[in-house]
Structure formats: structure tokens, C-alpha cells
Structure 1
């Protein structure tokens, strides 16, 4: 594939353009003109974050013309098996988690709150705008065609109660006995369920560990504890490790099938 600058533009905006021309926002125009220094008449790639990629030509500093709007240059179906990381928001480093999980290939990112969390003071409407911007930049950088979804923050127990039967959840733990690592859990779930599709989640806890109330809830509802490492990992390290294991499992599964 050609090595062209990429720009993520929402599918809603692309569907509403007229005469194949799309007007850029101030931030998009700054990126194209000042950061990437794209000249008029040059091509770039436009992606909608939902599997489609088009070629576009810069016709003005604030306007692009999309070639063959009805027929994308490239289209990629969404994965059958979707991957999710649910993370109790750490005191620092969450933005790095967003970048790296996006680059690795995670499909859903769920910010969580828990009893032993260090910092719970979040203005979520403002945070989600910034976090979505970070994810968008990581999608452009990594040349993914599907943009991950970042969901609104929830308390861990309330989030678990809201899962449906198409979602399988493992909970990472460090100091409790468990018979599984994440790889083993993934293989067992796939063989046991024998279902096509769904979301496979791994939950990363707070740096202070899960509370006794949370552990009791996990046990009562028969959630599987998994280990990511024989050592104690920071939240950011655990998130990247789990993301890599999930993604490699999906790659291996596709190769076998």
C-alpha cells in the first residue's frame, strides 16, 4: 500500500459530504498544512474508523476531494472476535495505555473505578474528548482501519453486572491463587463456548489491588482470575501485556481457521 498521510474523519461526516468535497476542521487543516506540509494537489488517505479507506486530494487548505466516494480504496471487515481491556484508571499513565492498546489492536477500552483507586476526581465529558483525540492519533499512526471505542467510566461491580452473554470476562490478579494464565483462559473459553464472535475482556485492577468486597463479588459470580506474569506489574505494564496476549491469541486463531 502507498505510504500516504492518513486522516481519520467520522463516518457521519463522510456520509454527509456533497460533490465529493469535505471541509476540514481547524485542527485537521493545521495537521495537513502545518504539521505534514501537504501541498495542494497531493494525495492523502482518509479513513472513517469503521473499516473504509479512501484516497483524497487536497484542493484547498481547508478542503479535500475524496476519490470514488461510493467505492473505497480499501475496506476491511470488522474482526469476528473483539478484544477489550477494562482498566481501573491509574494515578498516571492512562493516556499511554490508550495509545499503546490502540496500536496493538484492542477494540474496546473501558475505564473503571474501584474501591482502592488512588484518584477518582474526573470530569468525564472533558476527559473523553481528550482520550478520543489520543486514540484517533494512535489509529492514524498505526494505520488501523477500525478505531477502538472508549466507553464511559463505571464502577467495576456495576460494569460487570451490565455484561451480556456475548461477553467473556477474565480478571487479572496478583496475590490470589489461580489455575490459569490469560492464554489458557482464552483457549478454554473458546473451546467451551464454541461460539463465533463476542467480546473477550481482560480486567486490570488498581495499583493497590482489589478490595475484599470486590474479591468476594468476583468469587460469588464465578469470574475467572488469571495471571499475566509471575511478577507484580504496574497498571500500564499489565494493560500492554494483556493487550498483546489478547491480540496474539486472535491472530493465532485466524491462522488455525
Structure 2
């Protein structure tokens, strides 16, 4: 079933009006017809299923049934060393599918990529939105503005931080002991050149939990997705939530 985003302010009385790019995609790209079913999400906590009643510059969908999302009990936030090329875009796409809560690009000593321009972040958000629609996730991945390493580490030092370091004798990610009371998890992955020794030392100084991802040297995108997969398996997040059978929208 095709999946689209709807403005929550346009949802009322069991129907919704879809406008702009989403309406164009429904009518001109997919060439959907009245009577066909589709799925919608409001970008907050709920997604709906309904039938198309009319198609024009706007698309009217009625007979909405809703599904309510359960918020993830352990939000997972990725702090990613800046990368060159399209590697960040791949990680954003997969971060959406793995139901990470946010991604923050980090400028480190070995970063090759530069502090991103606003146009680049628009591209990131578009990729995240497309991935969100593809996988059926409700809440969007939050993509934060880039930070320098020292600034980011000071802002996050009171949270539970997992710092993946490719060098040194550190326990594996699977061996880490997690606090009994855990509100969120910050996952730190360095750039192509890895972490500078001074950055690792600063992480240790503020009590970050250092870990290893194994004896092999992994590409950044592999390391990020491998670590995130382990954590989302250890703490399963629910991107879709419970289906509320037969509940209409009033």
C-alpha cells in the first residue's frame, strides 16, 4: 500500500486533504484513482489508512483508520564524524529504517567533509523523508546541525554515551554493561580517518563508554549500521506501534 505524509492540521472528521508534492506524486506519478487505498502518517505519532475520494490539485482521502505509535523506550542518537561524498546519505537512509531518533554530524580532527551548508541539510531531510515513507515509520529522523567534536561532547557528557574506537583494548559492544535506568543512548562513530587520540582521551575523561566493533577495520557506514543494529536488537524499538483495529478518526 503506498505511503504518504499528511499535514496533521488537515486531518478531521475522518478525512484528510493532501496537497503540494504528495498530491502531485499520487495523481501524476503513481496515477492513483478514486477508490484506491493508501496509508498516511502525520509525522508525530499516528498513521492512517483510507480510500481516495477525489483527485485534483488536492487529494481527498476518507474512511480513515488510525494506528498509534508506541514511543521507543530507549531513543538512539547517532553522532557521526563528517564524511565525504554520499556516505552520509546512505547512513541517513538506514538510520531511518533502524528507527534511530536523531543524527548529528560531527566535525572532528580527521574529518574530510566540511561543515554542511543549509542546502545540504535540505538534501539530507529529503532522503530521510523518502526512507520514512518507504519503511512505514511515523516519527521522522531528526537531523541536527553539525557540531564541532568538543562542543558536542560537552553537551552530551551527562548522557549514556557509547564511543566506538577502532584502536585499543576495549570490550565489544555486546559486552557493554548498560545502566538499569536508561533514558537514551548516544552512539559515536568517527570519520574515515577514525578518532584522533586526543578525542578518545577526552571521551574517556568525561566517562564515555569505549567499545570495539571487532578486530577488522570497518568502513564508517558499515560500523555505524553494525553498531546501531546491535543496539536496536538489544533494545527493540517499535516504529509502527500497535494497530488500533477499526478505530475511525473524528
Question: Structure 2 length normalisation: TM-score?
Answer: 0.85
For residue 96 of structure 1, the aligned residue among 90, 102, 105 is: 90
Other structure's SS at 1:81 match: coil
1:1-257 aligned at under 5 Å gives the runs 4-9=1-6, 13-16=7-10, 20-25=15-20, 27-58=21-52, 59-67=54-62, 73-92=66-85, 93-123=87-117, 125-163=118-156, 165=158, 167-178=159-170, 180-185=171-176, 188-189=177-178, 193-195=179-181, 197-251=182-236
Q: CA deviation at 1:95?
A: 0.4
Deviations 1:198-240 (A, max 9, x none): 2112100011121232122112222121111221111111111
Say if 1:57 and 1:64, in contact at 8 Å, map to a contact too.
no
Deviations 1:30-62 (A, max 9, x none): 321233221133221110232201124331233
Deviations 1:92-132 (A, max 9, x none): 21101111121122121111110111121521x22222111
Deviations 1:57-108 (A, max 9, x none): 3312332334467xx5211121111112211121121101111121122121
- Cα distance change on mapping 1:221 and 1:182 into 2, 3 Å: same
Q: Distance in 2 between matches of 1:80 and 1:122?
A: 31
Q: Distance in 2 between matches of 1:47 and 1:57?
A: 14
Q: Distance in 2 between matches of 1:52 and 1:33?
A: 24
Other structure's SS at 2:218 match: coil
Say if 2:115 and 2:146, in contact at 8 Å, map to a contact too.
no
Number of positions where the alignment pairs a residue of Structure 1 with one of Structure 2: 234
Q: Distance in 2 between matches of 1:229 and 1:60?
A: 54
Q: Which has the higher strand share?
A: 2
User: What runs of 5+ residues in structure 1 fail to find an aligned partner?
Assistant: 253-257
Say if 1:14 and 1:22, in contact at 8 Å, map to a contact too.
no
Say if 2:153 and 2:203, in contact at 8 Å, map to a contact too.
no
Q: CA deviation at 1:17?
A: 5.3
Q: Which has the higher helix share?
A: 1
User: What runs of 5+ residues in structure 2 fail to find an aligned partner?
Assistant: 238-250
Question: Structure 1 length normalisation: TM-score?
Answer: 0.83
- Cα distance change on mapping 1:73 and 1:17 into 2, 3 Å: closer
Say if 1:86 and 1:201, in contact at 8 Å, map to a contact too.
yes
